[in-house]
């Protein structure tokens, strides 16, 4: 389901949602890779009729092999900017900058509808894949944005035995090492507040994100 309310332009939002009845949304590596592709490349009206090909290439080369021309089209016409993300087994967290009228709504409709259709077809299911509309929490200032990023990037600690610093399905490594996605992941609003990547690492490590900040 998609939210019907309109979120303000030029504002940041914490977007979160989970599987219907808390079901597992991502059952194997291909599912995680596909959802990550949707998050990154569905920020504009551009379409991708052969997503499976990009997923297969990523599994082999850790690269989606999308042309630079296609990336430029996305960047020139996007509804939103993806700031950070974490994909967990039965839920997801995103920070999104809403660039245009109904930008978040358009983006989430594209992402969730595409993934739900894929999931139901692959696993021979019917009905809702996600539990109700996604939740959108307005982020009011830079401090809240920074603490939200720590909450999102440390979310994998919920999984027993998982080190959030090595988790494959979040943007943490793009903040503290090389950004794999270039301008498709607009982390500068957060990282530019720190003198170095090591400073951001320390901030995440030492932060205890409060519920009223996220």
Say if 210 falls within a structural domain. no
Give the count of domains, the chain.
1
**Please, what's the b/e burial string for 79-97 (b: 16 or more CB within 10 A of its CB; e: otherwise)?**
bbbbbbbbbbbebbbbbbb
CA dihedral 167, 170, 172, 175 (to 10 degrees): 140
pLDDT above 90 (res 102): yes
Say if 161 falls within a structural domain. no
- pLDDT at residue number 214: 52
Residue 71: CATH number of its domain? 3.30.70.1290
Global pTM?
0.94
- pLDDT at residue number 4: 52
pLDDT above 60 (res 104): yes
Say if 171 falls within a structural domain. yes
For residue 207, name the pLDDT band (cuts at 50, 70, 90). confident
Host domain of residue 68: 11-141+166-188
Paired sense of beta strands 11-18 and 135-139, if any: antiparallel
**pLDDT single digits (tens) 33-53:** 999 999 999 999 999 999 999
Average pLDDT of the segment spanning 182-187: 97
- pLDDT at residue number 209: 54
């Amino acid at each position: 389901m998609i939210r019907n309310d309109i979120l303000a332009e030029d504002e940041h939002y914490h977007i979160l949602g989970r599987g219907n009845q808390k079901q597992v949304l991502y059952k194997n590596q291909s599912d995680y890779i596909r959802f990550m592709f949707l998050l990154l490349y569905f920020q504009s009206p551009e379409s991708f009729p052969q997503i499976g090909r990009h997923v297969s290439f990523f599994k082999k080369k850790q690269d989606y092999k999308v042309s630079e021309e296609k990336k430029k089209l996305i960047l020139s016409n996007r509804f939103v900017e993806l700031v950070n993300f974490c994909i967990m087994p039965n839920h997801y967290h995103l920070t999104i900058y809403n660039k245009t009228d109904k930008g978040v709504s358009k983006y989430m409709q594209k992402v969730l509808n595409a993934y739900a259709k894929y999931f139901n077809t692959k696993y021979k299911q019917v009905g809702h894949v996600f539990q109700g509309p996604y939740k959108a929490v307005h982020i009011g200032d830079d401090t809240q944005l920074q603490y939200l990023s720590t909450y999102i990037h440390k979310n994998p600690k919920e999984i027993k035995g998982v080190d959030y610093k090595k988790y494959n399905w979040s943007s943490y490594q793009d903040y503290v090492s090389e950004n794999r996605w270039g301008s498709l992941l607009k982390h500068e609003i957060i990282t530019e507040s720190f003198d170095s990547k090591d400073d951001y690492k320390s901030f995440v490590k030492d932060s205890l994100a409060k519920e009223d900040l996220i």
